Amino acid sequence: MHLLVCGGAGYVGSHVARVLDARGHRVTVLDNLSTGHAEAVRWGRLVEADILDVDSLEAAFHGQRFDAVLHFCARSLVGESVSAPYDYYENNVVGTLNLLRVMRRHAVDRIVFSSTAAVFGNPVAALIDEDHPKAPINPYGASKLMVERMLADAAHAYGLRSVCLRYFNAAGASAEDGIGESHKPETHLIPNLLRALINPAAPLKVFGQDYPTPDGTCVRDYVHVLDLADAHVRALDHMDGAPGAHAFNLGNGTGFSVMQVIRAAERVTGLPVPFEPAPRRAGDPPVLVAASQRARDILGWSPVYTGIEDVLRTAWDWHRAPAF
């Protein structure tokens, strides 16, 4: 298939492009490079365009025949979404609507959407499955949930086929392929703690020590980025025989607190992680752990990287010699 990977110069998008190419698909990457990296586009052609600029989207589709779109373009910082909600609704909701309209004009009727565990808000169950109540507590999660609703409505009105993949915490890297996690600013735990190991003068900030968890720090479910990429390929295959809108949660089903991740990183690297306490961040729920049985049963998906130390090891390999 010829696939358009929107946001394919970013962290998850570049890993998905790598896996798509390895499995024989033709890849075109669309990215405005505001947060992505041209150096990460190693599989397929890069088209610089912006989902908020309809003319640039039309130009990207003109003269091309895409079989499906994989959509990763989003603002994704929880704290920033709280302080700048208009920016999040504009980019994540309006931008996606622009993309969907252009897809319809060009008769592209399949999309895999990068969603998030933030659509659920504070959990009311130990493991979060797809039927868990959706009550986002920050504009980032709310914007992603709005897109999920748009895709469901488009399935009914226009016959659009879609799969929403709700990541819990994407982590790890494919250092041997020269791609990994590099954000500015960086808000994710694992790259920040690895940066603190490389530069001990800038210790890791541990946001919140008084959550209702065993050690007082947030608990998250970490899923390797290459496992996420595999789920995207399976989602494309799933749409062949499954019209309508579908959603799957993607995680390992095991939660690790911030302090547990720190101790695991120390075991992997043999180095002490310098860290200091900091206040809670707005919009952070105490615990987010996935129940991914539906993805296992329907997509045939199963994570290869099941241990936090395995995930950390691949991230450490990247951060010791980042390509960008």
Tens-digit pLDDT profile for residues 114-128: 999 999 998 899 899
**Domain end position, chosen among 250, 270, 298:** 250
When comparing pLDDT for 126 and 213, which is higher? 213
Answer yes or no: do 236 and 197 share one domain. Answer: no
- Quick one: 76 and 89 in the same domain? yes
pTM of the model: 0.93
The two tokens of residue 126 are 């130990």
| Domain CATH for 204 | 3.90.25.10
- Is 79's pLDDT higher than 90? no
Quick check: helix, strand or coil at residue 241?
A: coil
Shared-domain flag, residues 192 and 240: no
pLDDT at 281: 85
Q: Which of 232, 250, 268 is the last residue of a domain?
A: 250
Which of 235, 250, 265 marks a domain boundary?
250
At 184, is the pLDDT very low, low, confident or very high (cuts 50, 70, 90)?
confident
pLDDT band for 323, please (50, 70, 90 cuts): confident
List strands edge to edge, sheet with 245-250: 45-48, 26-31, 2-6, 68-71, 110-116, 161-167, 245-250
Mean pLDDT lowest among 33-42, 139-148, 249-258, 278-287? 278-287
State the chain's mean pLDDT as an integer.
Answer: 95
Cβ(146)–Cβ(134) below 8 Å: no
Quick check: is 88 catalytic?
A: no
Same-domain pairing of 94 and 227: yes
Which residue in this structure is represented by tokens 């496992």?
227
Do 107 and 243 belong to one domain? yes
**Domain containing residue 25:** 2-171+222-250
Q: Which of 11, 89, 140, 211 is catalytic?
A: 140
We report the CATH number of the domain holding residue 99 as 3.40.50.720
- Same domain for 118 and 150, yes or no, is yes
Compute the distance between CA of residue 40 and CA of residue 8 in angstroms, rounded to an integer.
Answer: 8
Q: Do 165 and 293 fall within a single domain? A: no
Q: Is 99 left (phi over 0), alpha (psi -120 to 50) or beta?
A: alpha
Q: Are residues 103 and 48 in the same domain?
A: yes
Element (H, E) at 209: none
- Ranking 28-32, 68-72, 76-80, 266-270 by mean pLDDT, the lowest is 76-80
- 105/68 same-domain check: yes
Residues 131-180: tens digit of each pLDDT: 999 999 999 999 999 999 999 999 999 999 999 999 999 999 999 999 99
Domains: count for the chain: 2
Q: pLDDT grade, residue 322 (50/70/90)?
A: confident
Closest CA to 257 of 155, 169, 129: 169
Q: Is the pLDDT of residue 309 over 90?
A: yes
CA distances (Å), origin 140, targets 34, 85, 147, 292: 18, 8, 11, 22
Domain co-membership, 81 together with 92:
yes
Residues 273 and 309 in one domain: yes
Q: Are residues 179 and 283 in the same domain?
A: yes
